[in-house]
Amino acid sequence: MLKSAYDIAVVGAGVFGAWTASHLHRAGQSVVLLDAWGAGHSRASSGGESRVIRMGYGADAIYTRMALRSLALWQDLAERTGQVLFHRTGVLWMAREDDPYSSATRINLEAAGVPMEIVCGAELVTRFPQMRIADSGAYGILEPKSGALMARRGVAAVVEDAAREGMACAVEAVRPPSGGRSARVLTISGETIRAGVFVFACGPWLPKLFPRLLGKRIFPTRQEVFFFAPPAGERRFASPHLPVWIDFTDPRGPYGFPDLEQRGFKLAFDRHGAAFDPDTGDRRVSIEGLAEARRFLADRFPTLADAPLAESRVCQYENTSNGDFLIDRHPDFDNVWLVGGGSGHGFKHGPAVGESASARILKMVPGEPRFSLLAKAETENRTVY
């Protein structure tokens, strides 16, 4: 039961909501964090095993800065809690010399002082014999200090850490806000949530809670993820022999993880799937998706072409029109804020997003124009990768 009055109620305990609540609590606010199923649950975009954290973003220096800040905060949290939240596997970009996005990435990483190594095509073959690299124009951009975050474990660690210091948490589902300029929020059971400010950070549920405002501005899509079991005793598909990798030479958008904590070699495709309802969508991978994954393995990682499927997962992106985040006040309420639009690349940025949202709410720091509601169109035209 929610009996106390709070300064701020944060709705949604995914990575954006958890870090926003944590920052607000550490700033001295009394905070309650609410989620319909709890932190890092199986249907959340922040659920699952692992997420990439890398600094390269083409010419989008804003995301490089946010990733650098976020990695420092993830590492601070890991040290404070004693949990393994980050694996420094390195991140390898597969690129082409004639690709302007990869060229911009190199320039941006150099300007930000991010350690990187350019690996020529011939050296790629020598250093990563697990990969079959047929493209003679391919080269690699290796970020040696980047790697993989442990997703649901990380979200749970944020919440548990703040709860130990007094932040309130509750498993509660809420209704959309109602009333005049000062919103009133009720739980599904009809209980009033007493708070001065409400932050909705509900990922793919945002357009369901705010259909008029966000129904055509945030687009949840179905995303399939596969984990394949390497041959017994085979360590070439685990770190440090294989980094996290992203293949920008392939229009299918493949990316993957080495075998982390004995869960298998992870493979997915970074492209928008079909429209998806996070409540009712079928979370079984498709026959067609698995067949495509195996075709890719046969082309790029032939040793794994017939590897057993150890695990699979269907999650969702919640894409904004171009992939930029949403951090803004609701236009109809003075005390309601919206934080979301992770767009498939947001998990790594959770600490920086929460920090930015907290600064806007408490200190009225001007927001990044790209993260405003006005910057969100009603048609998809992805520009952030």
In whole angstroms, give the CA distance from residue 33 to residue 105.
Answer: 37
**How far is CA 199 from each of CA 210, 256, 258, 358, 370, rounded to the nearest angstrom?**
13, 33, 36, 10, 19
Query: Using one digit for the tens of pLDDT, what is the confidence trace for 27-61?
Result: 999 999 999 999 989 999 999 999 999 999 999 99
Query: Using one digit for the tens of pLDDT, what is the confidence trace for 109-150?
Result: 999 999 999 999 999 999 999 999 877 789 999 999 999 999
Residues in the chain: 385
Give start-end residues of each CATH 3.30.9.10 domain in the chain. Answer: 87-147+219-318
In whole angstroms, give the CA distance from residue 124 to residue 139.
Answer: 7
**How far is CA 51 from each of CA 13, 31, 82, 100, 350, rounded to the nearest angstrom?**
17, 27, 19, 25, 12
Bridge-based pairing of strands 91-96 and 244-247 is: parallel
Query: Using one digit for the tens of pLDDT, what is the confidence trace for 348-377?
Result: 999 999 999 999 999 999 999 999 999 999
User: What mean pLDDT value characterizes the chain?
Assistant: 96
**How far is CA 197 from each of CA 183, 193, 347, rounded to the nearest angstrom?**
9, 10, 24
Q: Any residues with CB less than 8 A from the CB of 288 and at least 6 apart, and which? A: none
Confidence of residue 1 (pLDDT cuts 50, 70, 90): low
Instruction: Determine contact, residues 170/34, Cβ cutoff 8 Å.
Output: yes
What CATH class is the domain 87-147+219-318?
alpha beta
Helix-then-strand count for the chain, H and E: 9, 20
In whole angstroms, give the CA distance from residue 291 to residue 295.
Answer: 6
pLDDT (average), residues 147-156: 98
Superfamily of domain 6-46+152-218+321-371 in the CATH hierarchy: FAD/NAD(P)-binding domain (3.50.50.60)
pLDDT given at position 137: 85
DSSP 164: H
Confidence of residue 4 (pLDDT cuts 50, 70, 90): confident
The amino acid at 377: A
Give start-end residues of each CATH 3.50.50.60 domain in the chain. Answer: 6-46+152-218+321-371
Query: In this model, does residue 379 exceed pLDDT 80?
Result: yes
pLDDT (average), residues 88-92: 98
**Strand order from edge to edge, sheet including 183-186:** 178-179, 183-186, 192-193
Query: Using one digit for the tens of pLDDT, what is the confidence trace for 251-293?
Result: 999 999 999 999 999 999 999 999 999 999 999 999 999 999 9
For residue 292, the SS3 value is: helix
In whole angstroms, give the CA distance from residue 101 to residue 98.
Answer: 9
pLDDT given at position 98: 87
Query: Using one digit for the tens of pLDDT, what is the confidence trace for 321-354?
Result: 999 999 999 999 999 999 999 999 999 999 999 9
Higher pLDDT, 10 or 97: 10
Name residue, tokens 């369901």.
208
Name residue, tokens 């990798």.
245
Query: Using one digit for the tens of pLDDT, what is the confidence trace for 160-206?
Result: 999 999 999 999 999 999 999 999 999 999 999 999 999 999 999 99
Instruction: Determine contact, residues 309/226, Cβ cutoff 8 Å.
Output: yes
In whole angstroms, give the CA distance from residue 89 to residue 31.
Answer: 35
pLDDT given at position 135: 78
What DSSP line would sit under 316-352, residue for residue?
EEEE-SSS--EEEE-TT-TTEEEEE--TTT-GGGHHH
220 pairs with which residues across the strands? 318
Closest CA to 162 of 339, 59, 25, 11: 25
pLDDT given at position 97: 87
Instruction: Determine contact, residues 154/260, Cβ cutoff 8 Å.
Output: no
- Exposed e or buried b per residue across 54-80, where buried means at least 16 C-beta atoms within 10 angstroms of its C-beta: bbbbbebebbbebbbebbebbeebbee
